[in-house]
Amino acid sequence: MPWRFLFVGGIGNHKKGISMGHKTFAKGIHPEYHKDAASSRIEKAALPKTVIIPLSQHAGAPCAPLVKKGDVVVEGQKIGDASAFVSSPVHASISGKVKDIELAEHPAGVRGMAIIIEGDGVVKDWTAKGAPVDPSTLAPEAIREVIREAGIVGMGGAGFPTSVKLAPPKGRAIDTVLLNGCECEPYLTADHRIMVEQAEKVVWGLRCIMKAVGAGAGLIGIEENKPDAIEAIKKAVGSAMNIKTVILEAKYPQGAEKMLIKAALNRKVPVGKLPLDVGVVVNNVGTAVAVFEAVNLGKPLIERVVTISGEAVREPKNLMVRVGATFEDVLAQCGSIKGNGDVRVLNGGPMMGIAQSTLTVPVIKGTSGITALPVKDARPLKYSPCIKCAACVEGCPMSLMPYRLGEYGRAMRVDDFNSWAGMSCIECGCCSYVCPAKRPLVQWIRIAKLKGRQQAAKAAAASK
Amino acid sequence: MLSTLIIISAVSMGGIGAALAGFLAFADKKFKVEEDPRIEALVGALPGSNCGGCGYPGCRPLAEKLLSGEAPPNVCVAGGNETAIKLAALLGLEAKEHKRTLAVVLCRGGNVEAERRASYAGDLTCTASDLTAGDKSCAYGCLGYGECVEACKFGAMAMNDNGLPVVFYDKCVGCGACAKACPRNIIEMHPEDHALFVYCRSKDKGAWAKKVCSVSCIACGLCVKDCSVTGGITLKNNLAVVDYNLAPQNDESTKRCPTKCILSGIEPAMTKQNYLASIPKKAG
């Protein structure tokens, strides 16, 4: 029957292209990956002369400074902390003197309080004294305490404090720890290089996290387009029975928490719920390495691997950068920016990264990459009316209707937005990417989410 | 043959129409909803702009509230004093004076005065650009995409050449729609007798405020000293704040302001006519 063929063709549309039959989630998109820096080894960046350390680099309560202007600090010293549960301390990433504590640029776009340290050039030695300890001998509470004190947050970008993630509420059993090595954002290769060069540390970190949450199984999800990483991780895992490597289709947003859980474990996180409601904890591979360093070396999260890439960067690189080094500093070590034209510099990759207005913003714990694109690649200001082609509906990994949500956002109709489940949008940007009319759908959706939060806060204040 | 067809259809359609019209006429009498005739009269006296400035969804809901006594007759902002008198007469109440309020745009940092930190490439509305903290360096100033002008239903606002909204003194009815539309709360509603305003909302420290905008309040405190009544003007969060219960509305305290961000009595001059006259005429 002809209609049946039509039907099958329609449903299968999103799978057109590169699929090699690996595990994945429904919908999503296949952007051009531009992994220019994939083969360049992680290099140590030059020690910055000054660092700007924002007091809020994580989801949750911002820190209060523990130092004063003029204080002398040493590398790794805790300089900011908060008493709230959902928070994470910040540490001095270089030794030196506190120059000032003031409002400074923040890669999220809004200026915030930051501690500015002028360096004295002294470098602390963090190399290991002996062989790594066996994670199974550690107590879960002790691991969580070390992780909290080391200021470790999710290094994929959202910056959720890891110690909170690893402390599931009573009665919720976690059976699987999932390490996220997808790195589906175009241009970014930091996680890829970490898996290739530090596979042992990744696997050790995974074991440690499994011990902390009492999970029996560990999974490392890697996209099929990183064969060297898959090989390195498989080698590091060796014959361990409780840790598996899952090869996933290269598709955006494969690295989004909910998509990854669906692809790797075939579990669906219900709307408004967290991965721990389906017995899973997801962590970035970079976070696993940070856990290794915190537990074995006592080193807090003061530096991270950052991919500097994009068509406007002369030498794309993966650099080990101190938290707080400015984008200007980091870009200068990559041959700075090509050409005289306008450039868009993003904190992160091109899909979810935040465009910066100045290069004096610091690298923070969640900065996985600095992407510099010539502006001719940037989206034009003009968009045309929606032709209801449903490309966005086909691309939305959360199975929402972005064209509709976007309209509600633009008109600030929060109730309608909520009734179409708009709050479950993960802002991955697939809809804006595929829209042939170039409509800024994610931006409108973000307006509705913001207005929704404001209304809810107002209602909560009124009911008090 | 054809003519018969036309006749048949005309007669049948006409018949059906007549029957239904008869039914409607009957239903109109039989199922009539009794409504207080005063509501109709009150709606007639209201301006019918449905601006929402009174706090009710529109003119008819306001009329119902007026009748039940929940809303006082001087609540209509769009109609002003005239409407207040009319409504009071209809309701048999004593007319109270309607105090006119006006929208004041408390930012003068336009394209010339304010520094732009980057070029913005998103959707060109204030709320959308505010998500990225705007393209101007000042985090408190006017974003300049005119959502307030779009919200005005009375043609009392326009975006000037400098990328700032202007309120026409003679046209503004004080409904407050522009103030609600502004994501940065730059527009405030003030009674007509207020004349002294600090045209800046920046809570940044003086050095930064001065760097990013030449007409910002740098919290130097000269206006505080020059104000003849102690406490009439105070500094709060690096910004001069006028206490309208205390401060005299003349311009004595504005004279020494180094950035000319505190001014007195400039609003009445901006009428629609004056604004149109100030725009340079285009050739041809």
The whole-number pLDDT of residue A4 equals 38
Q: pLDDT per residue over B228-245, tens digit each?
A: 888 889 999 999 999 998
Backbone conformation region of residue A27, classed left if phi is above 0, alpha if psi is from -120 to 50, else beta: left
Helical (H) or strand (E) element with A454: helix A441-463
Task: Give the total number of structural domains in chain B.
Answer: 3
Q: Are the beta carbons of A444 and B123 separated by less than 8 Å?
A: yes
Rounded Cα gap, residues B138 and B116, in angstroms: 8
Q: In angstroms, rounded to a whole number, what is the distance separating the alpha carbons of residues B103 and B51?
A: 14
> What pLDDT, in 10s, does the model give residues A211-241?
999 998 999 999 999 999 999 999 999 888 8
Q: Which of A297, A313, A342 is the last residue of a domain?
A: A297
Same structural domain, A235 and A91: no
Per-residue pLDDT of A371-391, as tens digits, reads: 998 887 555 568 899 999 999
**A318 inside domain:** no
The verdict on a CB contact (< 8 Å) between B119 and A446 is: no
Q: What is the pLDDT at residue B121?
A: 81
Residue B74 sits in the same domain as residue B214:
no
Question: For an interface test with A, which of B117, B123, B203 has the most A Cβ atoms less than 10 Å from its Cβ?
Answer: B123
Neighbour tally for A229: CB within 10 Å: 27
Q: Are A88 and A160 part of one and the same domain?
A: no
Q: Are residues B176 and B279 in the same domain?
A: yes
pLDDT reported for residue A17: 44
Do B184 and B120 reside in the same domain of the chain?
Answer: yes
Q: Which of B84, B83, B78, B6 is nearest to B49 (CA)?
A: B78
Most A-contacting residue of B116, B117, B119 (CB-CB within 10 A), to test interface: B119
Give the pLDDT confidence score for residue A217 in this predicted structure: 92
Q: pLDDT band for position A20 (50/70/90)?
A: low
Task: Answer whether residue A171 is part of any domain.
Answer: yes
Q: What percent of chain A has pLDDT over 70?
A: 95
Please state the separation of Cα A404 from the chain's center in Å. Answer: 27
Nearest beta carbon to residue B118 from set A357, A380, A383: A357
Tell me, yes or no, whether B15 lies in a domain.
no
pLDDT greater than 50 at residue A3: no
pTM for the whole structure: 0.84
Residues B73 and B97: beta-carbon distance below 8 Å: no
Q: pLDDT at position A381, please? A: 65
User: Which residue in B120, B126, B131, B212 has the most chain A C-beta atoms within 10 A of its own C-beta, making it the best mutation to test that interface?
Assistant: B131
DSSP class of A256: S
Work out the average pLDDT over A430-459: 92
Q: So what's the pLDDT on residue B251?
A: 77
Query: Considering the domain boundaries, does residue B17 fall inside one?
Result: no
Which A-chain residues 312-351 have CB contacts (< 8 A) with chain B?
342, 344
**Between B119, B122, B125, which is nearest A342 by CB?**
B119
Computed over every residue of chain A, the mean pLDDT equals 89
Whether residue B179 is found in the same domain as residue B272: yes
Tell whether A258 and A143 lie within a shared domain.
yes
The stretches in chain B having pLDDT less than 50 are 284
Measured distance CA(B169)–CA(A348) in Å, rounded: 47
User: Does some domain include residue A2?
Assistant: no
> Does residue A132 surpass a pLDDT of 50?
yes
Q: How far away is chain B from the Cα of A438, in angstroms, using its nearest Cα?
A: 11
**Rounded CA gap, A245 and A217, in Å?**
11
Count of the separate structural domains present in chain A: 3
* Domain boundary residue, one of A269, A297, A325: A297
Interface check for B139 against chain A (CB to CB < 8 A): the answer is yes
Q: Within a domain: residue B229?
A: yes
The yes-or-no verdict on residue A67 having pLDDT over 60 is yes
Determine the average pLDDT of the residues in A52-61.
91
Tell me what the mean pLDDT of segment A148-171 comes to: 88
Q: CA-CA distance, A223 to A255, in Å (whole number)?
A: 9
Residue A74 belongs to what domain range? 50-118
- What pLDDT sits at residue B283? 54
Q: What is the pLDDT of residue A11?
A: 39
What single string gives the DSSP state of each residue in B227-247? -SSTTSEEEETTEEEE-TTTS
Tell me what ipTM this predicted complex has: 0.79
Range of the domain at B254: 196-264
Same domain (yes/no): B127, B187? yes
A236 within some domain = yes
CB-side neighbour CA atoms (13 Å) of A352: 20
Same domain, A403 and A447: yes
Q: What is the CATH number of the domain that holds A253?
A: 3.40.50.11540
**Cβ-based burial of A197 (10 A; exposed 0-12, middle 13-18, buried ≥19):** middle
Q: Length of chain A, please? A: 464
Do A165 and A194 have their domain in common? yes
| B216 part of a folded domain | yes
CATH number at residue B75: 1.10.15.40
- Which residues touch A32 (CB under 8 Å, ≥6 apart)? A186
Looking at the structure, do residues A146 and A284 belong to the same domain, yes or no?
Answer: yes
Assess whether pLDDT exceeds 80 at residue A266: yes
Q: Are residues A185 and A292 in the same domain?
A: yes
* pLDDT above 60 (res A16): no
Q: Within an 8 Å CB–CB cutoff, is residue B24 touching chain A?
A: no
A 65-124 residues with CB < 8 A to B: 103, 109-111
Neighbours of A59 (CB within 10 A): 16
Residue B60: inside a domain: yes
Residues B166, B253, single domain; the answer is no
Q: Which of A297, A329, A354 is the last residue of a domain?
A: A297
A284 and A149, same domain (yes or no): yes
In a domain, residue B13? The reply is no
Per DSSP, which regions of chain B are E strands?
101-105, 157-159, 165-167, 187-191, 196-198, 233-236, 239-242, 262-264
Instruction: For chain B, give the mean pLDDT.
Output: 89
Q: Compute the average pLDDT of residues A76-98.
A: 93
Same domain as A260, residue A226: yes
Tokens of A440: 């800024």
If one compares A74 and A157, the residue with the highest pLDDT of the two is A74
Chain A residues inside the 8 Å CB shell of B139: 110-111
Determine, yes or no, domain membership for B32. no
Residue A14 pLDDT greater than 60, yes or no: no
| Tens-digit pLDDT profile for residues B176-220 | 999 999 999 999 999 988 999 999 999 988 888 999 999 999 999
Q: How far apart are the first and last CA of chain B?
A: 64
Do A154 and A270 share a domain, yes or no?
yes
**Residues A143, A89 share a domain:** no
